Amino acid sequence: MQALYSYVILGLITGICSGIFGVGGGIVMVPALVWFFHHSQHEAQGISLVAMLLPVGLLGAYQYHQKYNLPVKSSLMVALGIFVGAFVGAQIAGLISGKHLKIAFGIFMLGASLKLIFGK
């Protein structure tokens, strides 16, 4: 039972980060699931996609729309791209070994971090 509470705490931390920074699943949840919960890279990425779908997507978007009047048409077009892209990406991830997927994920996060810190 304690393990289930640990997942809820991870969800709370991820949700807070998502609400503040607009990130969460990949940056917070996936590494935590691999390091602390000992899931494989494939499992962690899949859990992240499932877990982030409704709570962050719908509730977070609703809050931002209420405060900032988000452009709905643009948001829906991006969502369509994500819908198709996530399917294709999951298919590709299934062809890559867990070790190589973890390395690629780390390189992606490092590159994104460096761009955020040093980019214009």
The domain ranges of the chain are 2-118
Please, what sign has the CA dihedral across residues 64, 70, 73, 74?
Answer: negative
pLDDT of 88 higher than 90: yes
Percent of the chain surpassing pLDDT 90: 42
Using N-to-C axis directions, what is the helix angle for 41-54 and 72-93, rounded to 10°? Answer: 160
pLDDT of 117 higher than 80: yes
The amino acid present at 115, given as its one-letter code, is K
pLDDT digits (tens, 9 = 90+) for 76-87: 898 888 889 989
pTM of the model: 0.75
The H-assigned helical ranges of 22-71 are: 30-35, 41-54, 61-68
Q: 75 falls in which pLDDT band (50, 70, 90)?
A: confident
End-to-end CA distance of the chain: give it in Å, rounded: 47
Task: Considering only residues 115 and 23, tell me which one the structure prediction assigns the higher pLDDT.
Answer: 115
CA 110, CA 65: separation in Å to the nearest integer? 30
